[in-house]
Structure 1
């Protein structure tokens, strides 16, 4: 028997993915008697006038049956005389593309269905590119509903030609194009008499015989560490799954990113002692000496795995919120999770042509190449070398939802050429010299809320108390440092990122830094908190919009209401209320002196 084949079905809505797999299982007698009986009973009230509806075998959710579409990924396990299979039936609707990408991430082969009456459409191209991005090197194009075009060979050949042209340059190892009818069973498990012109294997026999063995398996051992096991004082083992190569007792391994070397003292495969661990096995590695290793680190015998804090990646954006440069996310590679920033969008990838398209922002279900910067060094490899260390996901830091998935292309040269220069005079020395604890007091609120006025009054009070300060005002900074930035979302994000870095440097100088910026997005304020660190103190000036409009010192609200100012916060652009600010003050309820007294009194808790 050939090895296990993991494959997915994908394609556009109503192309027949669930019906195809259901009919395959039914014809190949791979159902239990009760499953078969239930299918026949359910079909009597189905959408096919009492005829068997094979999609019901996979569309298990009530919403799926009601709408006639697949929403979630349905996994099925089955075995024939020749092979074992795991199939992921993935949704075709554009809204559920993220679910399709999840299915593609586990598969060795993809069956992409197209409706013979429609041919290759945008969703077909999108799914094919996602499959290629996820490392699938074997495709089957199932041209379905051939019965609706009277099994026209010429139409089949046109669709085949279109698909072959579209996938040219995809780095695929095999493409098989098969004419099928999922409802009638043509070319599913046996050859159809309606397509005598088709000379190759039907779908199931092809799947039983296709060779998906990866030729470029690495010889070097690679294991991302999932857990450090220390059941007692005499045992310290590093646990994880072997992602490449083999490891044996006595082998010398390198620990990354610390780059220490040690020999393997003992091995456990599962809970059994062993002399050797191979690719795919869960192992516990005990080394002959103490080394600096924790979850997210990597044990390897390779000298060529990268350690860097900046790289270029190709990602599928899956978030409802658009991607703009400067946004901060959690980046997960292997077992390591680090804060990271999308520094720049290099280009989008056109779904239809594959061409590179300039872009300033990216929307849901678009493919994009971007540069990502991490908070510290991370171990990674190119995806084509090692999928475990070359694949990544981006996680929204506020909602904890997966925003994107993708692959790492290469590191950025400047990440290895530019080093942090340690200086003899440290932040602590500068702070002691000034006799104060450095802080960043981050004033946020709507235009007209009183941020700048209050920040100015607070700074005067702190200086009168003998503190060393620096006030960064939003308007003033845009006269110099951020003169090149506008007010679009990506400009606002970059504006806040730059100010955060400047505030951090001023904290390094031992100063108390006050910043007065609208900073409307919660994710950007979280990014500022991450950059600045524990010195960050958020002060939310919560003056209501109605009061801010009454003040309207600069006449900006009036212009925004008249449509003369686009992207104006509170009117045509949102302000996301701080979730948990350290200090909150509504200036409409206090005089300036009273508000200043209150804020300074609260600040003192952070200066002790």
Structure 2
């Protein structure tokens, strides 16, 4: 007879093994009737992830039971409206585990009108399973969901070509769909793309390899889910700790509670407190179970520092060597979820990590046609539309580019009146530590090109880039005064896409001119890129509102240019 202590030990060991298992979050997406819910139901059923009472329940609810086959979609289509219409409306979450890994599945809607629900389910996923009906091939909604998965930083996408039983398990059909989808996906940022032919209804290639498709040499869906490598997807190199709460249980202890967003936090590590810029070191890291020497995502801990520094909710602890970008202006992609269109005149609330601040969308750069990936001009964003925007905030945010860090690169916009979430956002602005692939790099002069020194001799002065606010009228007034002083100048005053503005500025400065960027909308992201592209000493920033007149501003700019060795030939 087994002793109680031995039984308890066995239970503890089992729970410890379960706790140490890796967790994979994945979503299923695709067009209507592609079989997403059926696939999940079959996956749960064949992997023994369904209780007997659930099986009994869906057996009773199955209306068209064919040859003894259960309606597996009923395991996930939980809403009455979903069962009545035979579609998925809301995101249905299911949990199951195998000896190798734990899983959380999000079954997302296929209808275009529920795209926002799909984006919600994808926001925390490591992997996406995009289903395609073998009879219909790649549909617009298939492309839409692949684009959203890429947009939300999902590195692993499985394309499951379903209902192969209705196409006589044709190898040609599978390869045709694979070629078509691969052509579209080549335009997206999807590092890991895996194709698999399946029949969700009959269980082919779901949990075990199918004998009906011997031509397919890959693994079954479950085997791929169990073995796909996701450990490197998480940013463990840049520590970010947003402060949720200041803990002061007594006079002897002052700590800062929150969840580690990324990186590894270690006892003794130097940290900088944002936005104040004060520095200290980690004195202790405390959890519910006791003190630990290090913490990593998604651990919730309380951190105490060696020095008495002012830290409050909404602040962030980060390494002084590579902190996040502190800014009041961000470039971002938005998935618009509000029933009312985006209004550039309205203020919204932006929720980012532990901060909630007022924000306003100042400019829509473009809207993306998710079927063709074409960039289109847009005066507004409507429900389920995706666009690139510039957002101003009333307080600084501590952000990273979304593709580098999903935790600090994501946010939501909230309507302050209804308190409804109206958009999900991803920061796309250039990280100062990363080269901008969209802009030309500085290259040595190629043979046949006019050297910079020759241009300077012909024009009579070196080039420079002046970054100033005030709009076109002020810009032209400043240009007139600089031109009178002997400088060869040109003003960029068009309200245009940031990348176009920067390309113009780069080309005009390379041509030897004194280039003045004085557009109506100038943003911090563009300013940083412009500064990075310009030779040190030839990039000037001016707030012309600090001067009594444009002429006075021009005189100050001319004096600064002269101090940096940029003088006109008449000087």
Do they superpose with TM above 0.5?
Answer: yes
Aligned residue number for residue 243 of structure 2: 225
Q: What TM-score results when the alignment is normalised by the length of structure 2?
A: 0.70
- Partners of 1:389 and 1:216 in 2: CA distance: 12
Conserved? CA contact 1:309–1:378, under 8 Å = yes
Change (3 A) 1:216 1:104: closer
The structural deviation recorded for 1:119 is: 1.3
Question: For residues 130-166 of structure 1, what are the alpha-carbon distances to aligned partners after superposition, in whole Å with 9 as ceiling and x for unaligned?
Answer: 1111110000001111122222222221211111111
Structure 1 unpaired stretches of 5+: 420-483, 485-504, 506-608
C-alpha contact 2:38 2:73 (8 A) present in aligned 1: yes
**Change over 3 Å in CA distance of 1:160–1:337 after alignment to 2:** same
Match 2:375 to one of 351, 356, 369: 356
Quick one: which of 62, 81, 103 aligns to 1:63?
81
Tell me whether 238-247 or 138-147 shows the greater mean CA deviation.
238-247
How far apart are the structure 2 equivalents of 1:359 and 1:324?
12
Distance 2:234 2:41 in 1: 34
Q: CA deviation at 1:3?
A: 2.2
8 Å contact from structure 1 (residues 74, 89) kept in 2: yes
| 1:398-443 deviations in Å (ceiling 9; x for gaps) | 1111111021011699xxx889xxxxxxxxxxxxxxxxxxxxxxxx
For 2:329, the equivalent position in structure 1 comes to 310
Listed as ranges, the matches of 1:62-141 within 5 Å are 62-141=80-159
State the number of aligned residues: 418
Within the alignment, does 1:406 sit opposite 2:425 as a pair?
yes
From 324, 327, 334, give the equivalent of 2:346.
327
Q: What is the DSSP-based 3-state SS (H/G/I as helix, E as strand, rest coil) of the residue aligned with 2:203?
A: coil
SS at match of 1:24: helix
Instruction: Tell me by how many angstroms 1:46 deviates.
Output: 5.2
Secondary structure at the residue paired with 2:183?
helix
Tell me how far 1:47 sits from its aligned partner.
Answer: 7.2
Alignment CA distance shift 1:418-1:334 (3 Å): farther
- What do you get for the CA RMSD once the two structures are aligned? 2.4
Specify the alignment match of 2:176 in structure 1. Answer: 158
* Preserved CA contact (<8 Å) 2:35 2:131: yes
CA distance in 2, matches of 1:221, 1:418: 35
Task: Provide Cα deviations, 1:46-92, integer angstroms capped at 9, x if missing partner.
Answer: 57697410011111121211111112211111111222211111111
In structure 2, the CA distance between the partners of 1:102 and 1:290, relative to structure 1 (3 Å rule), is same
Shift in Å, 1:340: 0.5
| Counterpart residue number, 2:187 | 169
Inter-partner Cα distance in structure 2 for 1:359 and 1:240: 39
- In structure 1, C-alpha distance between the alignment counterparts of 2:346 and 2:182, rounded to whole Å: 37
Q: 1-side partners of 2:428 and 2:252: how far apart?
A: 42
| Separation (CA, whole Å) in 1 of partners of 2:259 and 2:68 | 49
The answer for the alignment partner of 1:42 in structure 2 is 61
Question: Is 1:195–2:232 an aligned residue pair?
Answer: no
CA distance in 2, matches of 1:331, 1:137: 26
Change (3 A) 1:189 1:407: same
Structure-1-length-normalised TM-score: 0.65
Deviations 1:349-404 (A, max 9, x none): 11112121111122111110000001121111111222111001111121111111
SS in 2 for 1:229: strand
- 1:216 to 1:8, Cα distance in 2 relative to 1, 3 A: closer
CA distance in 2, matches of 1:389, 1:139: 23
What is the Cα deviation at residue 215 of structure 1?
5.5
Matching residue within 388, 392, 398 for 2:407: 388
Is the partner of 1:166 in helix, strand or coil? Answer: helix
Asked whether 1:263 is paired with 2:281, we answer yes
Q: In 2 relative to 1, CA 305–412 (structure 1 residues): closer, same or farther, beyond 3 Å?
A: closer
Distance in 2 (alpha carbons) for counterparts of 1:418 and 1:386 = 31
- Indicate the SS of the match to 1:195: coil
Q: Distance in 2 between matches of 1:310 and 1:412?
A: 13
Q: Is the 8 A contact 1:218 1:385 kept in 2?
A: no
Q: Deviations over 1:245-304 (max 9, x none)?
A: 222222221001111112222220235122222232111011123322222211111434
d(CA) in 1 for partners of 2:307, 2:468? 33
* 1:575-599 CA-partner distances (Å, limit 9, x unpaired): xxxxxxxxxxxxxxxxxxxxxxxxx
How far off is 1:107 after superposition?
0.8
Q: Say if 2:234 and 2:262, in contact at 8 Å, map to a contact too.
A: no
8 Å CA contact 2:401–2:431 kept in 1: the answer is: no
> Is the CA contact 1:324–1:360 (under 8 Å) kept in the aligned structure 2?
no
